[in-house]
Amino acid sequence: MLLISKNKNSFGYGFTIVELLIVIVVIAILAAITIVAFNGTQQRARDSGRQSDVKTIAKALELYYIDNGKFPNGSGSTTINASWSTTADASWANLATALRPYLTTFPVDPISTPGSNVLTSGSTGTNYAYFSNSAGTYCGVPANQMYILVYRNENSTQSQDLFGTCNPTVLGPYAGASNYRVAK
């Protein structure tokens, strides 16, 4: 009679170390791709929120103009200059106070960068900034008859747009500062 015995020292089941390493590398690559795609989605979502916020502020400014015959002064910024209001410093509260009857909650940039000047070309800050000339003629119109509303998107592929009737060359250093401007 012939007996066949199994070798108790051989392992018939399981994975080799090479197979485990390959699986770990594949999972890491998939995780990296997912994170990159998710970050892009978050940026686009924040940019969409910014566009909505700016439109909301612009509507409130127009309602203010209808009731008062002028736009509110932009004032108090220590980040840009005293003629501006921005979410980068406490001056945004001045504009929020003026527009309180028209907005229940006043928009602030989703990742506002305190102390950054959104108007400079080299800035990476993402803030909202508002200007209305309080004296003299600016952009061809008398005091408080125009405004500039500026913000920067995180998605740099968005085109630079200027809405309104103000000639972009009159805006001087602010003309190329952001991805979106409202000038009326």
Q: Could you tell me the mean pLDDT of each successive run of 10 residues in the chain, 184 residues long?
A: 55 80 94 81 83 88 93 79 79 89 87 71 73 77 82 67 55 47 57
pLDDT of residue 122: 61
What is the reported pLDDT for 100? 93
Closest to 61 in 3D by CA, of 87, 98, 30: 98
The whole-number pLDDT of residue 101 equals 93
In the chain the beta strands, taken as DSSP E runs, fall at 84-86, 128-131, 148-151, 161-163, 180-183
Q: Is the pTM of this model over 0.75?
A: no
Token pair of 134 as six digits? 């309080």
Q: pLDDT value at position 141?
A: 77
